Structure 1
């Protein structure tokens, strides 16, 4: 067990259960806030070891049921991703509940110094992601899509109930996400979204997901990070290796992780997608990959609209992209049913 040697009030000293997770015989010399989190407190903890060296740790701390869910999500997600790409993920150390505060929970990991201002170039960024997907492909503990616990995007719970069908799993998640988005806007009606929603589930999802698992094709679950915006991928201090963290992991179709790469909100885009495809083959049918990429992009856009309902632009962004997908499918249906050259369609 470590000791807290800081000259602070006893109430400010680290909890006994947290100290027990730190190196045996170590002495805590500093605890400082670390990074930004809207839903949990985060800290950098420096520990001096008996041999005179130091180790630094990252703690995420949450209170109550929501805090416990966030901490559990972090522990399970980071442990899973670390198993497959340890060179890119801070080593998870421990998780637990404070002895002094049974309503307060913690996740502890190795602290990694990173270059905050630089977004890794496509080679570094996508090498980490492609490695995660390739190394975990076919190793789902149940052989199904899902995850052992419901993980968190921010503080939004993600239903990870196991399913043998990718279409069924993704449809269920999208219905849940849209219900959460509706609730976050206090049930405020959105005429276009209400018109698009049934078409999205009845037309778009079957059109782009069902072919992945029909006509002899199948999808092999792999572990995905599921929140790969640039705030969660940074260079380590060597300026070459990407550090990937803060996952809300699940076993899924690997292309889901590429949805955020397409999002115009982030300065990534086509060069990063092209780099990924150098390492991982496109799922069949290959001709649908662009539409699937748009479909998977919607997930993050819907969740952002849910987390930040005060910004109406976020809702309009995902509704407009949903509309494009619906129109694409309906136009395709009309083209198949009409003589060549006579396609005219407007939603």
Structure 2
């Protein structure tokens, strides 16, 4: 199987893998099982499958739709999806490189361009997934704050509370933030965002560019992508990325104060999916908002 054949017959990829007709090398992949595939013509692909049993319905179709939508903007490097089947997804391989200041500057400007490409509404026309959990992308024609509270905070707060990952005090603090979310401001029209842009989903390529991978893409608030880049130790050259972004598209007044609000969504996803190990990060974000 070479790339030309794969483009014409993407549905045959699982059969070729089952019969070991393609070289497969395991690589790191988060919640999915990931591998590097090498075709007969030397082309490399990045492939993901669900680690056990059938993949959740629509998981890989959602990822493919999100990547295509981000790529459609034509502003920032996004891998081309070559195979999107219920049981797997495969896309072009991005050779890893080192983060440089120049790459960070280019990425900041490109991210601003992506966000400016915009979206028709908050949400998306496809069902969402974030990590191993469903993501409610139901579109709204209303404002951002109520949509974010209802679709991005409350569902994962409920799951986290039900599994005991947060204390009653933690839940009460986050619920108060949800009730008063309009007071934080930052109202803007929907931007075209990655939606899960923690540092692990920014891939620095050997070509000197920053690539977006593994999105939860939707129409959202542009500050969300910038806020999540600072999570879990922060991405390399974050200050350079933000400065370059702001040169292209200045951020609204008060944006630094709102960063914990945007981070709270992804942190609640982590307590919902992985448990109380992330409880401290949720509470720290919530407390930072209360002190602001």
Distance in 2, matches of 1:200 and 1:147, equals 25
What pairs with 1:1-347 in structure 2 (closer than 5 Å)? Answer: 17-19=11-13, 28-38=21-31, 40-48=32-40, 53-62=41-50, 66-85=55-74, 88-97=77-86, 105-115=87-97, 118=98, 120-121=99-100, 123-125=102-104, 127-128=106-107, 130-135=109-114, 137=116, 139-140=118-119, 143-164=120-141, 165-172=143-150, 173-183=152-162, 186-187=163-164, 190-203=167-180, 205-209=181-185, 212=187, 219-238=188-207, 240-263=208-231, 265-266=233-234, 268=236, 269-283=238-252, 286=253, 288-311=254-277, 314-328=278-292
Aligned mates of 1:322, 1:166 — CA distance in 2: 19
Q: Deviations over 1:141-193 (max 9, x none)?
A: xx21101223222112211110122122101121112112223xx24661321
* Per-residue deviation, 1:296: 0.8
8 Å contact kept, 2:161–2:171? no
CA–CA separation in structure 2 for the residues paired with 1:189 and 1:233: 29
Structure of greater relative contact order (alpha carbons < 8 Å, 6+ residues apart): 2
1:61/1:29 Cα in 2 relative to 1: closer, same or farther (>3 Å)? closer
Gaps of 5+ in 2: 4-8
SS of the aligned residue for 1:67 comes to coil
TM-score (norm 1): 0.71
The answer as to whether partners of 2:264 and 2:282 remain within 8 angstroms in 1 is yes
Q: Distance in 1 between matches of 2:29 and 2:57?
A: 18
Question: TM-score if structure 2 supplies the norm length?
Answer: 0.83
| Cα distance in 1 between the residues matched to 2:2 and 2:230 | 45
| Cα root mean square deviation, aligned | 3.0
Separation in 2, partners of 1:134, 1:83: 12
CA shift for structure 1 position 29: 4.3
* Structure number with larger C-alpha Rg: 1
Deviation at 1:221, TM superposition (A): 1.5
Asked if structure 2 preserves the Cα contact closer than 8 Å seen for 1:133 and 1:223, the reply is no
Structure 1 residue runs of 5 or longer lacking an equivalent are 4-14, 98-104, 213-218, 329-347
Give the direction of change, closer, same or farther, for the CA distance of 1:83–1:168 in structure 2 (3 Å limit). Answer: same
Q: Do the aligned residues in 1 keep the contact of 2:118 with 2:191 (CA within 8 Å)?
A: yes
In structure 2, relative to structure 1, the CA distance for the partners of 1:189 and 1:145 (3 Å cut) is: closer
Q: Identify if the C-alpha distance between structure 1 residues 127 and 207 changes in structure 2 by more than 3 Å, giving closer, same or farther.
A: farther
Shift of 1:323: 2.1
